[in-house]
Amino acid sequence: MTNNAHTPSKKIKSKKSLTWFSSFLIIVGIISSFSVWIFTKPAVVNSDATPAGFSMQGVAINQPSSYVDYSNLANNGINFAYIAATTGDSFTEDNYQTSYKRAEAASLKVGTLQTYDSTTDASTQAQYLINHVGNQVGQLPIAISVASRQISTRSDKERLAELITILNDHYNKSAIIYTTPDVQKRLSTVISQTKYWLVEDNLKNTAKENQFIQYSEDHTIGTGLKAIKMPTSVFNGTRKQFEEIK
């Protein structure tokens, strides 16, 4: 009888011990989970700040066939996007129109990017771009990407100059040359009035002919799972000048 009388008391003590131990395990689990989150969460990158001394920055979308979250770009300090459209008279980016509309829907200022091909005459290249994009060339100057190998001769440079003139006249808007400092120097004897989008990987060359400057080939935009590395540029002028550009 004596042993049976003490049984309920032992059960109560066991339940209390179990409850306390369970609570202890839960607390330890919460602390451990928090510690793991602290040490493994993605590092915060200050990618939304436009470089000091400049008011607007944007990206070059060289492969619009790949999905780009334009709203994410707009939410992380990007103001404009240049979208690749054509190369010479033989290659078009199939998703240009879709990318163009999505960039505009994200309230980005949009520009068209054409790649120059010195083996094709200027009028043919211009018409190829016109046929592909129509009037959807955006609010920014048309950008013509020029590689060093495409300006080996004076004829190559003159053909480029003619292409610029045709596009200027057709769209009643300016064109800029998207290239390196070396190509810019080599073009200076033939092309003098056109401005440049300089691929410099720094922000030192702010000469007035450099309307845009690409300061990074793989700048990180956004944070966490939505972070993306893209060629990023600044507009070399004031916000008011950017709003007035065409």
What's the pLDDT score for residue 62?
A: 80
The percentage of the chain sitting over the pLDDT mark of 70, rounded to a whole number, equals 79
- Whole-prediction pTM value? 0.79
pLDDT surpasses 70 at 95? yes
Give backbone dihedrals phi and psi of 220, rounded to 5 degrees, phi first: -80, 125
Enumerate residues 6+ apart whose C-beta is below 8 A from 134: none
Cα 142 to Cα 24, 61, 139, 168: the distances in Å are 65, 14, 9, 9
- The position carrying tokens 């720094």 is 202
What's the pLDDT score for residue 28?
A: 43
What's the pLDDT score for residue 224?
A: 87
What's the pLDDT score for residue 149?
A: 97
Dihedral angle computed from the Cα positions of residues 104, 165, 176 and 61, in that order, rounded to the nearest 10 degrees: 40
Question: Within 10 Å of residue 42's Cβ, how many Cβ atoms?
Answer: 10
Which has more confidence, 129 or 224?
129
Q: What is the mean pLDDT of residues 201-223?
A: 94
Chain mean pLDDT for the chain: 85
Total residues found in the chain within this entry: 246
| Banded model confidence at residue 196, pLDDT cuts 50, 70, 90 | very high
Q: What is the mean pLDDT of residues 101-112?
A: 97
Helix axes 154-171, 122-133, angle to 10 degrees: 40
Tell me how far apart the 2 most distant CA atoms of the chain are, in Å: 115
d(CA 204, CA 15): 73
